[in-house]
Structure formats: structure tokens, C-alpha cells
Amino acid sequence: MTSFFTQIRTQFKRRPAYQKWLFWLVSVYLLFCAILGGLIPAIAKQQLPQQLGEILGRQVIVQDIHINPFTTELTVTGFAINEQSDDAQFVSFDRLYANLQVWQSLRLMVHSVGRCRVRTA
């Protein structure tokens, strides 16, 4: 008796080439969405205050970072940079929204932002 995974692999090999390509294309796209929508914001939320704080010599606070991989929208909420000497805020905003133009960036080989909005308290 063959194992479950061996049966699946055998059935997959019997599929037409276009179905195999479609399977791998969808798999790569879903992996891209999971990394862009889940992993990158979590790492950025953890590393951005630390790295930026070291560069500026100030305390940096980031409440949340959200990336929508389907619409390529970036939202940063609760961002603040404090003064060097005390806890007074040097720069802050409640929400930063940016609509990233991925296809235009790839075509022109430059970073392109379609719309950017900053909301303060």
C-alpha cells in the first residue's frame, strides 16, 4: 500500500503541463501575499523603532504597520519620535497611508507612490 503523499505526487505528475504551471504560479503568489501581508509588517514593527532609534539617537514608537498585498497599500499608525532629552514628541503622526505603484515602479525602475496621506492628532 502506497502512502498518501506518494499518491498525491503520482496524480500531480499525471496532470497536464498547464495545470502544473498554474499550481506553481498560484502557490508562489499565495506565498508572496503571506510574506508581504504578514511577515514583513511584523518584522518591520519590531525592527523599525530599534534601527531608526539607533540612527537618530532618539526613542521611536510605531504602534502598527499594515500592508495590503492585493492593493499594495501601506498604513503606519501611531508613529512618534521623541526628543533626545525627555519624552516630549519631536515628530509624530496618527496615520500614514501610502498607495504604492508596484507595476509603475517595476516598469520605470524607480520607487513610485500613487497617493500618500498623513493624519495628525
Q: Model confidence over 67-121: pLDDT tens digits? A: 998 888 999 999 999 998 888 899 999 999 999 888 888 888 888 888 999 998 6
Residue 107's domain spans which residues?
4-119
Residue matched to cell numbers 508562489: 28
In this prediction the pTM is 0.75
* Average pLDDT in the chain: 91
- Residue 104 is predicted with a pLDDT of 83
- Residue 70 is predicted with a pLDDT of 87
Residue matched to cell numbers 507595476: 103
Kindly report the number of other CB atoms within 10 A of residue 76's CB atom: 22
Q: Taking 80 as the threshold, does the pLDDT of residue 28 lie above it?
A: yes
Number of domains, the chain: 1
What is the Cα–Cα distance from 57 to 84, expressed in whole angstroms? 7
Query: What number is the average pLDDT over the span 35-48?
Result: 93
